[in-house]
Amino acid sequence: MKGRIVNYRMGRQTQNPYHMIIKVEGVATKDEAKALKGKKVIWKTPSGKEMTGKVASAHGNKGAIRVIFDRGMPGQAIGGEVSIN
């Protein structure tokens, strides 16, 4: 399953580099997004390294998910493609 990184999880004056919001292809509702909870997410850096995370919860009502990564994500990850296993 594939998805695209949309943004960091943000507050009004903060952003958390470990938490990313991801839009998943083919997922359009909150209930479908909840079914992905606990799955592993992998993003490949331009240099070929893999950064892994875990789906924490649904985000909003349109099927986005919140993923917590092991390491802080760089800004170049926004718009990048991830694989969800």
Task: Kindly list the domain boundaries of the chain, sorted by start residue.
Answer: 2-84
User: Nearest to residue 84, comparing CAs of 59, 62, 56?
Assistant: 56
Q: Three-state DSSP class for 71?
A: coil
pLDDT at 49: 95
Q: What is the pLDDT along the chain (85 residues), one digit of tens a residue?
A: 999 999 999 999 999 999 999 999 999 999 999 999 999 999 999 999 999 999 999 999 999 999 999 999 999 999 999 999 9
| Residue 38 amino acid letter | G
Please provide the CATH number assigned to the domain covering 2-84.
2.40.10.190
pLDDT at 6: 97
pLDDT at 1: 93
| Residue 63 amino acid letter | G
Question: Under 8 Å CB-to-CB from 83, ≥6 apart: which residues?
Answer: 1, 2, 3, 41, 42
Q: Report yes or no: 19 and 67 within 8 Å, Cβ to Cβ.
A: yes
pLDDT at 57: 97
Burial class (CB in 10 A: 0-12, 13-18, 19+), 77: buried
pLDDT at 37: 96
Q: Three-state DSSP class for 33?
A: helix
